[in-house]
Structure formats: structure tokens, C-alpha cells
């Protein structure tokens, strides 16, 4: 717990059990439901599902949907707020059908709806959101077809709100609505002056990509009035960015939004809804702070600020409390999924060893560094030892390139150098003051654990925007983790690595893990991957989608669970098809080549058949390493 901080970022869903395994409590109000992660791994193996695997805990999704809705109900009751909460889940955060279905089902008691931001998403939510009471919010840029689809939703009795992102969209919507003679429900998105803080702060401010300025909002309302459609203007929308790290930004945005709503009301435009967008953050690093991968508030505090902020302004302005809409995506889905990968190897600069004993005629660089290695002790100035050793190594490398020393002597110098560095590290770990250069030795001497997965497919944000995601061994937590390491993936790309972690409140480039055992697999979980990571992942190096298992807890046995569905990840054929190859034709081409070798007597016929079968088997197999 001290190293991995599971209870800090786990949102109440993950703990370290007494047996040293990570445990899942998917329903925080009922801690008796407790699943051992190791049993999940065993079941996945029994089902014959190959790792790496995405595990989805559907109960966690349900708990988050219920949690958000209950939080709004609580604050609404406490504040004696007159409006209701009608939240929507933005499907862009995770469009997976099973995820959306679960959210819709869990949200039924609260009339929880869906949000779409593109044509494909609108087609999806029109089919998925069948509850007539819940909202369907349509954001993003729209064309004629999108407008018609939204109006189809209206025709089918759904509360589809078209949120106008730029003025010309309003002209298009009015034209299509009049042509089809269907009353739309219209929202306007305000370009807020307040900016969020954190990685997504450009979603707010005057240079924001989406939304209308205050002048445009007034012009839009007046235009609708002229067109006899003022009654269609129902919603004010704003979104100042995802993962808002500081609660002050939420308060400021609500104040600004509430003022706009109130004045529109006083101008005669009685809107029913205010939509505060997304932004409810996740504490990825467990610091509960304004760090970029954290946030300094809880879900309930966020909700209370929305409800009380809106109420205060409306009461001051003497206008009715609007219904509240929020579009939280990250907060709904982040916790429910976890990527399990197996460590398949260790890479270490100082792992190799060789006999470094003296030989006649060897170069004096080698003699010097050997002498240093044999004679230095802790009384010496360690900084000087470090500098000398580094200098010998650099000089040796130059000398090798100039053909002065042979390869074998260079290898001995390298071996002796790493031996010296290892001893320096042992020494300075006991010291209070350590020079900066020596501190960096920790990173150079650390291991790299090779993980059977692709950062670009499964944790894209760690690469693209330095997002921190918790990494935790799933077993052996009652053993001291003694190997400092960073993680590298199996893509042929040096960027395919994770070397940002938190220990306590400190951001580090290495994480202590357990030494690998020869005959025992070591599984590591990458947590909080349920928001955005699934959809942002790409096929770098042709590593495709991961196998997935969908887990539910049992009502009658709190420690049991079942795999409700296994969704097969991409096969090699699948990813090749995406890239316009024809795998069947490729198999025929390779078979023809093999046959030719058989005719030429270079391969025996049996061998030829075996190689053909093997090529075809690999084509239809998983893209990741087979363990
Ligand atoms: N609504 C809109 C308009 C967005 O652009 C986004 C994402 O940035 C969201 C909702 C979801 O935000 P979050 O995942 O932070 O809740």
C-alpha cells in the first residue's frame, strides 16, 4: 500500500488483500462482495483466453452510474433545489456496446441518458437510448444528415437536444426542422471565458474550438424568436475541459453559466436545462491534489458545487432553478477496466557479466578502471570515483572506434564500469546527501520489465499526453518489492514505455516490483483504463485490440464472480485486413513458395505441409506474444 497507494486512487474499488493479492470490491456500499484478482486470472487461464487481457468489472460501471446520480439527488435534496438532475453519458469516452448497454441499464431508475458527438455516435445512441424520459444530447459539428437524424429522434418521441456549436448550425437546423415540420429541442453551447486547469484547458476561453460567444447566443435566441421558434430553445451548455484538476474552475464555470442562464431568462427566453458538460476528474495518482493526473475534490464536492452554485445565482437573480445536466464520462468509466499484462522479461544494463581478470598486453584504460574497481572504498570521494569511471568508459569507447582497443577489452571495461556503479548505488542509498549525477544512477541501474502489450494500443494517453495510470502487481503484495524498474512494451518503438509513477505523493521514474521467478508468471495490472484509452488506442506495429473478459459478481456468493462474456481481440488477419491486405492471398503466396521449395527438393513434403499450416495458424492467431 505504501508503494502502490491502491486505496488512494482506487475509489473504494480496489484493496490489497491479506493474501497479498489485489482484491476488488465492486459495490462500495457492500464490502462483503470481494473478488480476488488472482481468481480472475485463474479463470481467464481456464477459459483459454490469451494475455494481455482487458478485464471489465460491470458492477463497477453500475456503481459509478448510481453513485453520480445519488450524489446529485443528495445535494438537490439538501439544497432544496427545485430542478432535477438528468445526466447523460458521453459515449465517446468508451463506445464499447457492452459498456454503453450497462450504463443505460444502470441509469434507468434515474432517467440517465446518452450524449453523442458525431454522426456515428448519434446513430448509436438513437438505437441505444430507448427511454423516452431521458435526454439524448447531440454535441459536435453537424451536417444536414445529422440534423435529420436528430429530428427523427424527435419524431420517435425522444428528448433529443441539438446543441448548437456554431451559428450557421442554427440556420441549418431551423431550415431542416421547418421542412420536416418537427419541433426541435435546441441547446446553445457557450464559449466560456473561464478556463479549466489541466491538460484540457483549451476547451474553454475565447479561442475554444466549440461554442457561441455571448453576442452569438443573444443573436441565436433573437433569430429563433423571429422564426417563431423561441419555445424550442431549452438548454444552455458549457464544457470547460476534461479532468478539471481544481474545484475552483468548476465553481467559476457554474457561476458564469448560471449568470448567462438567468439573464436569458430575464430577456424572455425561459430555458429548462443547464448542462455543465464533463470535467469531473479522476485521482489517477492518488494525491488528491491539483496535479495534472489528479483533482482536489470528490464526486460529492463537485456535485454540491454545481447544485449550490446554480441555486445561489438563480435565487439572487429571481429566476427558477433549471434542471441540471452533466456529461461526465471519465468519472463513469475510468475505474471499471484494467489491462492485465504478463511480464515476459527483464532488461538491465548491468546484467551481463564476464571474466575481467588481467591479461598481458591489455590497454591501460582497462588497467586503470580495474584498479579503480579493486581499490576504491567508502572513505573516498564517491563523486570522484563516479567521474573517473565514467571518463574511462567514454575514453574506451572512443579508443574502440579509433581501432585502438578490441571489442573484448571494451566489454571488460563496460562490465567493470557497471560493477563500480552498482557499488556506488549501494553506498549512497545509506547517505543523506547525494549529488544529482549519482541520483540519476538509480534510473540507469534500474531494470526494464518487458510487458506483453502495446502502450499505443492500451495506454495511449501515457504516451501522448503523459497521463499517469496506476501500475500494480496483482499478486505477491505481501513480499517486499526489491527491483526498481520501468515498464517497456513489445512494440519496436522506444516510446513504448511507462516510466512515470507515483509513490506516496512523489512522481518517480521507476517503480519497485518483485523479482521475476523462472516458473511463476508475474501479472501486472494497468488500472483506470476504462475512459478514453480503449478508443484512443492505435495499431502501431500491428498489435490489435486486446482480448476482453466481462466480469459480474454473484448475488448469492459475495466472493464469487463469473465471466459473462469473452470478446476476442484482433487476430493477425483482422489487423492485416484493416491495412488492406488479403490474408488468404498471402497464405496462398507463401504456400506456393513452400511448394516450390518442395519441388526443388529443398524441403521434404511433410515439412512443407507443417510450415504451411503453421503460417496459417499464426495468421488466425492473436497479435501478442504467446506465453
Ligand atoms: N462533454 C463534452 C462536450 C466533451 O467534450 C467531453 C470531453 O472532453 C465530455 C463531455 C466528457 O468529459 P469527461 O470525460 O471529462 O467527463
Ligand 1 centre distance from Cα of residue 328 (Å): 6
Could you tell me the pTM of the whole model? 0.93
Pocket-testing residue among 187, 277, 533, ligand 1, by greatest number of atoms within 8 A of Cβ: 277
Task: Please state, in angstroms and rounded to a whole number, the distance separating the CA atoms of residues 54 and 496.
Answer: 18
Task: Please state, in angstroms and rounded to a whole number, the distance separating the CA atoms of residues 409 and 251.
Answer: 66
Task: Please state, in angstroms and rounded to a whole number, the distance separating the CA atoms of residues 381 and 386.
Answer: 9
Sequence-distant (≥ 6) Cβ neighbours of residue 618 within 8 angstroms: 572
Ligand 1 centre distance from Cα of residue 243 (Å): 9
Task: Please state, in angstroms and rounded to a whole number, the distance separating the CA atoms of residues 326 and 240.
Answer: 12
Cell numbers representing residue 98 in the block: 457492452
Cell numbers representing residue 485 in the block: 524498474
- Hey, whose CA ends up nearest to atom 4 of ligand 1? 278
| DSSP tag of 548 | E
Cell numbers representing residue 161 in the block: 437536444
For residues 570 and 623, the answer to whether their CB atoms sit within 8 Å is yes
CATH of 56-332, one of 3.30.565.10, 3.20.20.10, 3.30.1490.20, 3.40.50.720: 3.20.20.10
- Hey, whose CA ends up nearest to atom 9 of ligand 1? 278
Bridge partners (DSSP) of residue 567 are 548
* Residue 90 CB less than 6 A away from ligand 1: yes
Ligand 1 centre distance from Cα of residue 278 (Å): 4
* Residue 211 CB less than 6 A away from ligand 1: no
Q: What is the per-residue pLDDT for 202?
A: 65
3-state SS assignment for residue 82: coil
Task: Please state, in angstroms and rounded to a whole number, the distance separating the CA atoms of residues 186 and 224.
Answer: 10
Atom number, ligand 1, closest to the C-alpha of residue 281: 15
For residues 160 and 150, the answer to whether their CB atoms sit within 8 Å is yes
Pocket-testing residue among 93, 161, 165, 250, ligand 1, by greatest number of atoms within 8 A of Cβ: 93
Cell numbers representing residue 541 in the block: 506495429
* Residue 242 CB less than 6 A away from ligand 1: yes
* Residue 239 CB less than 6 A away from ligand 1: yes
Task: Please state, in angstroms and rounded to a whole number, the distance separating the CA atoms of residues 432 and 66.
Answer: 49
| DSSP string covering 386-450 | HHHHHHHHHHHHHHHHTTSS-HHHHHHHHHHHHHHHHHHHHHHTT-S---HHHHTHHHHHSEEEE
Ligand 1 centre distance from Cα of residue 195 (Å): 14
| Catalytic positions | 492
Ligand 1 centre distance from Cα of residue 454 (Å): 26
Distance (Å) of CA 78 to CA 22, 109, 452: 37, 20, 50
Task: Please state, in angstroms and rounded to a whole number, the distance separating the CA atoms of residues 547 and 85.
Answer: 36
* Residue 299 CB less than 6 A away from ligand 1: no
Task: Please state, in angstroms and rounded to a whole number, the distance separating the CA atoms of residues 246 and 136.
Answer: 28
3-state SS assignment for residue 162: strand
Atom number, ligand 1, closest to the C-alpha of residue 243: 15
User: What's the length of the chain?
Assistant: 627
For residues 100 and 367, the answer to whether their CB atoms sit within 8 Å is no
* Residue 278 CB less than 6 A away from ligand 1: yes
Task: Please state, in angstroms and rounded to a whole number, the distance separating the CA atoms of residues 189 and 162.
Answer: 10
Atom number, ligand 1, closest to the C-alpha of residue 241: 8
* Residue 237 CB less than 6 A away from ligand 1: no
* Residue 329 CB less than 6 A away from ligand 1: yes
Ligand 1 centre distance from Cα of residue 241 (Å): 7
Ligand 1 centre distance from Cα of residue 329 (Å): 6
* Residue 330 CB less than 6 A away from ligand 1: yes
Question: Count of CB atoms within 10 A of residue 477's CB?
Answer: 21
Q: Omega into 52 within 30° of 0, i.e. cis?
A: yes
Helix (H) / strand (E) element for 345: namely: strand 337-347
Cell numbers representing residue 462 in the block: 501515457
| DSSP string covering 91-140 | GGG---HHHHHHHHHHHGGGT-EEEE-SHHHHHHHHHH---TTSEEEE-S
Residue appearing with cell numbers 552498482 = 422
Q: What is the per-residue pLDDT for 112?
A: 98
Helix (H) / strand (E) element for 175: namely: helix 167-180
- Hey, whose CA ends up nearest to atom 8 of ligand 1? 242
Task: Please state, in angstroms and rounded to a whole number, the distance separating the CA atoms of residues 139 and 209.
Answer: 12
| DSSP tag of 594 | H
Sequence-distant (≥ 6) Cβ neighbours of residue 498 within 8 angstroms: 455, 459, 462, 469, 471, 486, 487, 488, 526
Task: Please state, in angstroms and rounded to a whole number, the distance separating the CA atoms of residues 470 and 308.
Answer: 33
| DSSP tag of 485 | E
Ligand 1 centre distance from Cα of residue 33 (Å): 31
For residues 271 and 314, the answer to whether their CB atoms sit within 8 Å is no
* Residue 281 CB less than 6 A away from ligand 1: no
CATH number for the region 6-47+50-55+337-348+444-566 comes to: 2.40.37.10
* Residue 328 CB less than 6 A away from ligand 1: yes
Q: What are phi and psi of 118, to 5 degrees?
A: -155, 175
Atom number, ligand 1, closest to the C-alpha of residue 331: 16
Cell numbers representing residue 320 in the block: 427558477
- Hey, whose CA ends up nearest to atom 12 of ligand 1? 278
Cell numbers representing residue 554 in the block: 454473484
Atom number, ligand 1, closest to the C-alpha of residue 93: 14
**Can you list the residues of the chain whose pLDDT is less than 70?**
195-207, 378-379
**E-assigned strand segments in 444-522:** 447-451, 471-473, 483-488, 497-498, 501-503, 506-508, 511-513
Q: What is the per-residue pLDDT for 68?
A: 98
Q: What is the per-residue pLDDT for 48?
A: 96
Q: What are phi and psi of 485, to 5 degrees?
A: -150, 160
Bridge partners (DSSP) of residue 164 are 188
For residues 161 and 185, the answer to whether their CB atoms sit within 8 Å is yes
Amino acid at each position: 500500500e505504501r508503494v502502490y497507494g491502491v486505496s488512494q486512487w482506487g475509489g473504494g474499488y480496489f484493496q490489497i488483500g491479506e493474501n497479498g493479492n489485489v482484491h476488488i470490491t465492486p459495490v462500495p456500499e457492500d464490502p462483503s462482495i470481494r473478488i480476488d484478482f488472482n481468481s480472475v486470472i485463474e479463470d481467464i487461464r481456464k477459459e483459454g483466453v490469451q494475455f494481455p487481457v482487458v478485464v471489465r468489472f460491470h458492477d463497477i460501471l453500475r456503481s459509478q452510474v448510481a453513485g453520480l446520480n445519488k450524489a446529485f439527488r443528495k445535494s438537490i435534496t439538501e439544497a432544496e433545489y427545485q430542478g432535477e438532475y438528468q445526466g447523460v453519458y458521453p459515449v465517446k469516452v468508451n463506445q464499447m456496446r457492452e459498456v454503453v448497454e450497462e450504463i443505460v441499464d444502470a441509469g434507468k431508475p434515474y432517467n440517465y441518458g446518452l450524449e453523442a458527438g458525431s454522426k456515428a455516435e448519434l446513430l448509436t445512441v438513437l438505437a441505444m437510448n430507448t427511454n423516452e424520459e431521458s435526454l439524448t444530447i447531440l454535441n459536435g459539428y453537424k451536417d444536414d444528415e445529422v440534423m435529420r437524424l436528430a429530428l427523427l429522434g424527435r419524431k420517435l418521441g425522444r428528448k433529443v437536444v441539438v446543441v448548437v456549436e456554431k451559428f450557421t448550425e442554427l440556420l441549418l437546423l431551423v431550415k431542416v426542422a421547418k421542412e420536416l415540420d418537427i419541433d426541435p429541442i435546441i441547446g446553445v453551447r457557450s464559449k466560456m471565458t473561464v478556463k479549466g486547469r489541466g491538460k484540457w484547458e483549451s476547451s474553454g476561453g475565447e479561442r475554444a474550438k466549440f461554442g457561441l460567444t455571448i453576442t452569438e447566443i443573444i443573436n441565436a435566441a433573437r433569430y429563433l424568436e423571429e422564426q417563431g421558434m423561441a419555445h424550442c430553445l431549452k438548454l444552455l451548455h458549457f464544457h470547460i475541459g476534461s479532468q478539471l484538476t481544481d474545484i475552483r474552475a468548476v465553481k467559476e464555470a457554474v457561476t458564469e453559466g448560471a449568470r448567462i442562464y438567468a439573464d436569458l431568462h430575464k430577456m424572455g427566453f425561459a430555458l429548462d436545462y443547464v448542462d455543465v458538460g464533463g470535467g469531473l476528474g479522476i485521482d489517477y495518482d492518488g494525491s488528491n491534489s491539483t496535479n495534472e493526473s489528479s483533482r482536489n475534490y470528490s464526486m460529492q464536492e463537485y456535485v454540491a458545487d454545481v447544485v449550490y452554485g446554480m441555486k445561489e445565482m438563480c435565487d439572487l437573480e429571481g429566476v427558477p432553478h433549471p434542471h441540471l445536466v452533466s456529461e461526465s464520462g471519465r468519472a463513469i468509466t475510468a475505474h471499471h477496466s484494467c489491462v492485465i499484462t504478463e511480464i515476459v522479461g527483464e532488461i538491465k544494463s548491468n546484467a551481463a557479466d564476464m571474466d575481467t581478470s588481467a591479461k598481458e598486453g591489455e590497454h591501460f584504460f582497462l588497467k586503470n578502471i580495474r584498479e579503480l574497481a579493486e581499490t576504491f572504498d567508502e572513505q573516498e570521494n564517491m563523486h570522484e570515483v563516479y567521474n573517473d569511471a565514467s571518463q574511462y568508459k567514454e575514453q574506451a569507447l572512443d579508443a574502440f572506434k579509433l581501432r585502438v582497443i578490441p571489442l573484448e577489452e571494451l566489454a571488460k571495461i563496460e562490465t567493470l564500469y557497471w560493477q563500480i556503479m552498482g557499488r556506488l548505488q549501494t553506498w549512497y542509498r545509506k547517505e543523506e546527501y547525494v549529488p544529482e549525477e549519482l541520483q540519476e544512477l538509480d534510473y540507469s541501474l534500474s531494470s526494464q520489465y518487458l510487458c506483453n502489450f502495446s502502450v499505443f494500443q492500451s495506454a495511449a494517453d501515457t504516451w501522448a499526453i503523459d497521463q499517469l495510470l496506476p501500475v500494480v502487481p496483482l499478486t505477491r503484495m505481501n513480499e517486499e518489492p526489491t527491483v526498481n524498474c520501468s515498464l517497456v512494451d513489445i512494440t519496436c518503438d522506444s516510446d513504448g514505455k511507462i516510466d512515470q509513477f507515483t509513490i506516496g505523493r512523489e512522481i518517480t521514474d521507476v517503480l519497485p516490483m518483485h523479482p521475476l521467478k523462472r516458473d511463476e508468471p508475474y501479472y501486472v495490472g494497468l488500472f483506470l483504463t476504462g475512459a478514453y484509452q480503449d478508443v484512443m488506442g492505435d495499431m502501431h506495429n500491428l498489435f490489435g485490440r486486446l482480448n476482453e473478459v466481462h466480469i459480474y459478481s454473484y448475488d448469492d456468493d459475495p466472493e464469487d464472480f463469473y465471466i459473462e462474456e469473452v470478446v476476442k481481440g484482433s487476430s493477425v488477419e483482422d489487423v492485416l485486413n484493416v491495412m488492406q491486405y488479403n490474408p488468404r492471398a498471402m497464405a496462398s503466396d507463401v504456400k506456393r513458395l513452400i511448394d516450390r521449395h518442395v519441388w526443388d527438393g529443398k524441403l521434404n513434403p511433410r515439412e512443407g505441409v507443417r510450415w504451411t499450416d503453421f503460417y496459417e495458424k499464426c495468421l488466425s492467431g492473436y497479435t501478442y506474444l504467446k506465453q
